[in-house]
Structure 1
Amino acid sequence: MTDVGIITTGLGIAAGLVGLGAIAWEAQFRRRPGNALLLTPGEWNLDVYEPDRYVLVGDVEFRNLTERLEIMVPHVEAEVTLLSKDSLDGITHRIWVTPKHADAPARADGYWFGYIVKVGKTTHAEVTLEIKGPDLSSLQAAWVRIHYITYGPQGRIPKVRHVMVPLKFPSSEDSHRWRPTAAADVLPIRTHLLTHLDDPVTVVKRYVMPHAQPGDVVTIGETPVAIMQDRFHHPSEIKPGWLAKRLCYYFLPTSSLATACGMQTLVNIVGPWRVAGAFLLGAIAKKFLKKPGLFYQLAGEQARLIDDVTGTLPPYDQFIVLGPENPQQVVDQIKRETGLAAAIVDVNDLKAVKVLAATAGLTDEFLTQALISNPAGNADEQTPVVLIRPVKS
């Protein structure tokens, strides 16, 4: 081999080693957590609930999820949108955030000073919302947005934690209009705006049990269950990738996968390779075998359950809501703690009923017959729960 050949070979080997090293370095970087600081939705209480004054207080927690990195929180502030059935004229509010660090007192002037959340540690903040007005009875909920900055190895990253807090709680007596069907009588149950502060069992005990009798069945919509599990994301948090931006064009405009953010949500759940493979095989089956729907079978349950923006009642109409997690465990727990047979369902005004999970003894046929008219509604009825009383033969 000539000197030139030796040099060329050496340079090629060196370039290959550098390339492999760069790939390994990049792979290691991608596995790093970055600014992995979680802000929990927290616990919220109405400390003052008077006709002309509400004081809502939330305790939220910052959690450093990294194993060896410190994450700084140089800035935190909050804003709120009030939701009401009537005009907000004459109603005023103010909202503020107070640090509750174990090792540093809050400043008297309300200034949020930069704070370091140590490795594996947590710290707290208190969010206070005061609302005043001559009559606050029309207020339905408060949509609180906590803006905060994480500062660390990924740089300075602004983030937002969305928290929905109900302000009005209907009485169980507000639900009294039974509706007859061929298989059963059904009662849509009105609730407050369900949020992460709720759980399905507590909701059933509070609103359903006053009406229930032995042998009754309770159903809950899949979207409200997901909301109670905190399974919703604002589109601003979704970063559509190459695949999502292209595939979304091939879905019907009414599909929740027909937008880049909706499709990216599915990609984030099941992975790009599964979505791409499902799309390719689904397209072949539809084009050449005349078998539509294979994509949804291959892409997984969440492909059918994702609700894009405008898919549910305000303020969740601004969010992408996922399908519920572990629905069978949810219905089994309801049955265990209340004695009522239970199901989680997805029902729409097109007379489509999908049963995600049901306790033993309930059949899809019975639930479909009882719910085919969609008694819970798809607008802002705020009746996410339906009590079913089978007709005695």
Structure 2
Amino acid sequence: MNILIGLGLAIAGLVLLLWLLFEWQYSTRQGNLLEFDSGIWQFLTYEPEHYQIELILTATNKTRNLDVFLVELKPEVSLLSSDSLDHVHSETQLRSRHANITSRHDNYWESYIVSPKKSTSAEIQLNITGKNLDQLKTAWVKIHYTIYGPGGREEKVKHCIIPLQFPNGEQRERWRPTPDADVLPIRTHILSAGDTPVDVMQRYVIGHAQAGDIVTIAETPIAIMQGNFYHPSDIKPRWLAKRLCYYFQSTSSLATACGLQTLINESGAWRVAFAFIAGAIAKALFRKPGVFYMLAGEQARLIDDVTGTLPPYDQFIVLGPKNPQAVVDEIKAGTGLEAAIVDVNDLRRVKVLAATSGVSEKLLNQALVMNPAGNAAEQTPIVLIRPNRAN
């Protein structure tokens, strides 16, 4: 009898081991790993009553050895304006750029097999006509696409934000005095993943700057230019995020399942769970707040949930910037100006994420404490700081 029991347990253990190995192998499969890049766009026509924009997006199969089908693709355009859209008309034209296949002209997307490590592209032309086009701020292009492969059929959306309004770089200067420096908030277009920090500085800042100035830019537009933002529909909250989000203050960007899941995707479930437990103990037993944010990773403080920034990014979860020190070093190399990436709010809090070697953090705090860039719709993510000669 004991032999039969032992044999049964051995068989059960073997079956369990085989099942676990099978599940582990499945969990390492890459599935439908086909992703679009942020896209490259350009104006073909930029006239008072006619804009024509070409947007090219490239989809890459990032699997090692699996074919993925790109079976459907349909663009949808939303125009954001400071005026009525009653007399504005827009239409889109879709063309594929499949290798060795002639492009169609009827807006039909022909299914295409993307081989491992290979790519295909889509060309979208956006025509906008009408009056008051100078009031248009952005075109939000949503590319609805369907992929098909080992992971089944999946419907996804790629979001591209194209600026349509560009402030004059020669805007009238309105310097504001502070005790140790003068500050100049600088207006830009709605920044997108098609911009780079150095190009933006050269376009809007260089004309106002002089030797010794410091240029600061908010952390959110840097993250946006890096493409480090997600639509909530792309975030799939799991068990941990759905339960822990209720323990954060309602004003926190981690108080929603999608916001917290974004942090988990960045920092890892085990790290976030440990940080939550340690933070709860520190707060309950030692009355020490903020431990969770110290342990959960830098993104825990930097994530902005929906409504956290200007339209259309008010519909997205925006993370903090990647490698901010490299960004400020690039700005200095490209402009000659000392630079810093900052997180400033109306609560008179200034956090410096990264700064070049010649920047005084004390001076930044003093110059930015009143938040000259603003937290509303000012569209001035850059602040130029000119220290007083005594500093």
TM-score (norm 2): 0.98
**In structure 1, distance between residues paired with 2:122 and 2:248:** 43
- Determine whether 1:128 maps to 2:125: yes
In structure 2, C-alpha distance between the alignment counterparts of 1:200 and 1:212, rounded to whole Å: 16
Q: In the TM superposition, what is the alpha-carbon distance from 1:108 to its structure 2 partner?
A: 3.6
- Secondary structure of the corresponding residue to residue 311 of structure 1: coil
Q: Is the 8 A contact 1:77 1:96 kept in 2?
A: no
2:82 corresponds in structure 1 to 85
1:175 deviates by: 4.9
Answer yes or no: is the 8 Å Cα contact 2:95–2:105 preserved in 1.
no
**Counterpart for residue 70 of structure 1:** 67
Aligned to 2:27, which of 24, 27, 30? 30
Runs of 4+ in 1 over 4 A off after TM superposition: none
The within-5 A match list for 1:105-254 is: 105-254=102-251
Match of residue 366 from structure 1:
363
Alpha-carbon distance, 1:174 to partner: 2.1
Q: CA deviation at 1:245?
A: 1.0
Q: 8 Å contact 2:303–2:318 — kept in the other structure?
A: yes
CA gap 1:381/1:372 in 2 versus in 1, 3 angstroms: same
Tell me how far apart the structure 1 counterparts of residues 316 and 68 of structure 2 sit (CA, whole Å). 28
- Provide TM-score, normalisation by structure 1: 0.98
Q: Does 1:392 align with 2:381?
A: no
Where structure 2 has 5 or more consecutive residues not aligned to the other structure, the ranges are none
Which residue in 1 is equivalent to 2:263?
A: 266
How far did residue 381 of structure 1 move? 0.8
**Do the aligned partners of 1:175 and 1:190 also contact (CA within 8 Å) in 2?**
no
The answer to whether the 8 A contact 1:175-1:189 is kept is no
Q: What is the letter of the counterpart of residue 36 of structure 1?
A: L
How far did residue 369 of structure 1 move? 0.3
Q: Counterparts of 1:302 and 1:63 in 2: how far apart (Å)? A: 27
How far has the Cα of 1:224 moved from its partner?
0.3
Q: CA deviation at 1:8?
A: 2.3
CA RMSD of aligned residues (A): 0.9
Quote the sequence identity (%): 58
Describe the superposition over 1:93-150 as per-residue Cα deviations: whole angstroms up to 9, x where unpaired.
1113210112111224332111101121111110111111023110111000001001
Q: How far apart are 1:41 and its partner, in Å?
A: 1.7
Q: SS where residue 173 of structure 1 aligns?
A: coil
Report the equivalent of 1:291.
Answer: 288
Residues 175 and 188, structure 1, Cα contact 8 Å, conserved in 2: no
Letter in 2 for 1:315: P
Are 1:49 and 2:46 matched, yes or no?
A: yes
Which amino acid is 1:66 matched to? T
* d(CA) in 2 for partners of 1:79, 1:131: 13
Aligned in 2, Cα 1:70/1:175: closer, same or farther, shift over 3 Å?
farther
Is 2:348 the partner of 1:382? Answer: no
CA deviation digits over 1:241-273, x for unaligned, max 9?
A: 111111111111111011111111111101111
Quote the Cα distance in structure 1 between the aligned partners of 2:321 and 2:220.
Answer: 7
- Bigger drift between 126-135 and 224-233 goes to 126-135
Q: Match of 1:41, SS?
A: coil
User: Could you tell me how far apart the structure 2 residues matched to 1:265 and 1:135 are?
Assistant: 39
In the alignment, which residue of structure 2 is the partner of 1:324?
Answer: 321
- Quick one: distance in 2 between partners of 1:325 and 1:108? 40
Contact 2:181–2:387 (CA under 8 A) maintained in structure 1: yes
What is the aligned length?
390
For residues 301-360 of structure 1, what are the alpha-carbon distances to aligned partners after superposition, in whole Å with 9 as ceiling and x for unaligned?
100000000000100000000000000000011111211000000000110100000000
1:314 paired residue number? 311
Please state how far the C-alpha of 1:374 moved relative to its aligned partner. 0.5
